[in-house]
Amino acid sequence: MFLARRAGLVLFSRSETTVAMSSTPVEAPSFAALRRLFAERIAVLDGAMGSMVQTYNLTEQDFRSQRFADFPHDLKGNNDLLCLTKPDLVEDIHRQYFEAGADIVETNTFSSTSIGQADYRLEAIVTELNHAAVQCARRAALAAEAAHPGRKCFVAGAIGPLNRTLSMSPDVNRPEYRAVTWAQVVDAYTEQIRALLDAGVDALLLETIFDTLNAKAALFAIEGVFEERGVRVPVMVSVTITDASGRTLSGQTTEAFYNSIRHARPFSVGINCALGGRAMRPYIEELARIADCHVTCYPNAGLPNAFGGYDETPADMAAVLGEFARDGLVNLVGGCCGSTPAHIQAIAAAVRGLAPRSLPHPEPVLRLSGLEPLTAA
């Protein structure tokens, strides 16, 4: 658990051992490679993993495989576990996205933290899950590069939200109660981040953020591991605006959220999930105006229908994201829930040849945030 960070040092305690380290991490080679990609054109992210997994109609036995045949807890629905029990399936989904035109795929690690895996009693294999997920994605990336000499394919370590939040109580009768502590969240994210970096991801993607305090704990953990290792990789951040209120679930506006995390110097900031692309437009416009880093957008394929499915076709999504690109709003586009390789193929075609958003140089002023932003002129 991290105890303090001060005067260029990180002090942390594990197993009653205290270590002090110099904190001047150098940039990993992936920084330069991703900067080149984002300078040349609008980059393309993959689409949904969960939606693709659902098309295979997997059974409980598929999730268990031989290794977990006698495990005393239901495992169906734990998509991250498939990196161990059905690695060929996960690798094939990554391969399909690369073939569709994705430059970057996310690892299948959305819930690969000790807190996330506690629902399945699999906290003990979190490191193994993350390692296996990176290997699945990397094999697909290497295969895509081999098939197209000169092509560069990237693997981003996906870091999802938790099912416990630091800002909100799960009990409406006890608004002061929290089901988790800051230290527990930092520890859970630190374990995942170490595993992802050990396995060789090119970047970290902190996504589907609905509680800013959880995100700040994740960013704190990321910086702590960078300082521990002496190397940093690009960090991509993506928030979820829950509805037409234009706010996160914990209540912040888009600009307030960005003010809350801009100190972490993200490589990119963006919006994903909850909404379709058309409904995201005002919030993407706001980020494009204020963010001094790259802007990303990977919406759902519309809103869920009455059956839990998504109705926007590849052409529908491509039309919206192509419009964003033509208007100079984005640097990276992709898809979230309901999107498939066909959606990514159409999106990649829609933004091909269009110039990426130019990074602004906002005036250095004091920018604060609560639920609303405050800028001191």
All residue ranges of the chain with pLDDT < 70 are: 1-23
For the chain, how many structural domains are there in total? 1
Please report, for residues 129, 189, 267, 308, the alpha-carbon distance to residue 38 in angstroms, rounded to integers and kept in the order given: 30, 27, 10, 34
Tokens of 69: 């045949």
Give the pairing of strands 9-14 and 17-22. antiparallel
> With contact defined as beta carbons under 8 Å apart, do 185 and 214 qualify?
yes
| Residue 21 within a domain | no
Please report, for residues 101, 300, 322, the alpha-carbon distance to residue 275 in angstroms, rounded to integers and kept in the order given: 23, 6, 17
Task: Kindly report the pTM of this predicted structure.
Answer: 0.93
| Residue 281 within a domain | yes
- Return the pLDDT at 377: 72
The SS3 of residue 48 is coil
Closest CA to 271 of 322, 263, 373, 291: 291
Closest CA to 148 of 83, 187, 184, 98: 98
| Residue 169 CB coordination number (10 Å) | 13
Distance CA 361, CA 265 (A): 14
Q: What angle do CA 202, 241, 108 make, to 5 degrees?
A: 35
| Residue 19 within a domain | no
Query: In the block, which residue shows the tokens 């495992």?
Result: 75
| Residue 257 within a domain | yes
| Residue 171 CB coordination number (10 Å) | 11
Residue type, 197: L
Distance CA 305, CA 41 (A): 34
Question: What distance lies between CA 237 and its chain's CA centroid?
Answer: 6
Residue range(s) defining the domain that contains residue 227: 27-376
What kind and span of H or E run contains 281? helix 277-290
| Residue 16 within a domain | no
| Residue 17 within a domain | no
| Residue 199 within a domain | yes
- Return the pLDDT at 23: 56
CATH number, domain containing residue 73? 3.20.20.330
| Residue 302 within a domain | yes
Give the pairing of strands 9-14 and 2-6. antiparallel
> Angle 254-261/212-229 helices, nearest 10 degrees?
20
What kind and span of H or E run contains 33? helix 29-40
The radius of gyration of the chain's CA atoms, rounded to the nearest angstrom, is: 20
List pLDDT tens digits, range 37-95.
Answer: 999 999 999 999 999 999 999 999 999 999 999 999 999 999 999 999 999 999 999 99
- Return the pLDDT at 101: 98
The SS3 of residue 284 is helix
- Return the pLDDT at 5: 42
Distance CA 281, CA 57 (A): 34
